[in-house]
Amino acid sequence: MRSRRLDWCTRWVRRLDDRQLSEAGYGRMIRALNEVHYAGETGFYGTASLRPCEERLFERYGRHGRILDAGCGAGRVTRAVAARGGDIVGIDINGAAIAAARIAAPGVEFVHTSMAQMPFRAEEFTNVWCLRFSFNALPTYQERLNTLRELWRVCAPGGVVLVEAFNWYHRGRLGLVRAANLLDHLARMLHRHGGGRSSPLPRRDILYLANKTEGAAPGYAHLTTASELLRLVTAAGISGNATVTSEEALLDCTRTPVRPRHGRYSMWLVLNKTGDP
């Protein structure tokens, strides 16, 4: 009886999957949402200061060499690091964010581009940072893969790529957002089953109400797991030592790997580029 019910569910979900949006179409839709969401949040990202972990990150990893701040928004980190004497370049896909960053920090280099395809030479940066969940804003598997390849390509031998990512298994506020989205997912599945046209969101994707600036459009995030990040690294053909670690372990330089289903708010993917060919 149980297995017949399971078969029925599997067949049903497969039928729904067949009717989902194409990956490219979904990517376009979320990029358009991101465009208005992050344009509405420039007030926050243009004025907020460094988090304590970022102050320490700069001291541990950023004092020497050139830093790329990928997905810099309105330049929160870029501006503060440059003011501390760091050599840093900020890039973002959002034109409004880059315009705000240039006004806030006129002497700092900002480039309006996607981190999935960057206009830099290979090995230009010693520290490649993708901080505060910019990676979670990437809507498709292909874009996440291309981005990891690009972050790795522009990192110099002996350098390090750091990607900070939201955790799917976090049980705090994100857990609540996740639960709300799972209910939404179920409602859409039922709606589609009845002939409606609204697709469920892909796995581990969430939509949330903007919480940094009043009146900004809703935001999107793809919540990751530690295993997913490591699988992406392998699929991207990255040959360096990859670890997914916690904020504390990153900052005390032990880089102890997190458990696959840890409950922390965030995690850090660390890619070490050795000097070996």
Ligand X SMILES: C[S@@+](CC[C@H](N)C(=O)[O-])C[C@H]1O[C@@H](n2cnc3c(N)ncnc32)[C@H](O)[C@@H]1O
Residues in contact with ligand X by CB under 6 A are 34, 38, 45, 71-73, 76-77, 91-94, 97, 114-116, 131-134, 137-138
Q: Give residue 202's region: left, alpha or beta (phi > 0; psi -120 to 50).
A: beta
Closest to ligand X by CB, 71 or 86:
71
CB of residue 270 vs ligand X: minimum separation in angstroms?
17
Alpha-helical runs (H) found in 22-136: 23-40, 42-45, 52-57, 76-83, 95-104
Closest to ligand X by CB, 10 or 211:
211
End-to-end CA separation in angstroms for the chain: 58
Distance between CA 193 and CA 197 in Å, rounded? Answer: 9
Return phi, psi of residue 68, to 5°: -105, 125
Distance between CA 104 and CA 110 in Å, rounded? Answer: 11
CB of residue 105 vs ligand X: minimum separation in angstroms?
13
Closest to ligand X by CB, 211 or 256:
211
Closest to ligand X by CB, 47 or 234:
47
Nearest CA to 88 among 96, 79, 100, 97? 79
Closest to ligand X by CB, 16 or 217:
217
Distance between CA 132 and CA 178 in Å, rounded? Answer: 19
CB of residue 178 vs ligand X: minimum separation in angstroms?
17
CB of residue 141 vs ligand X: minimum separation in angstroms?
14
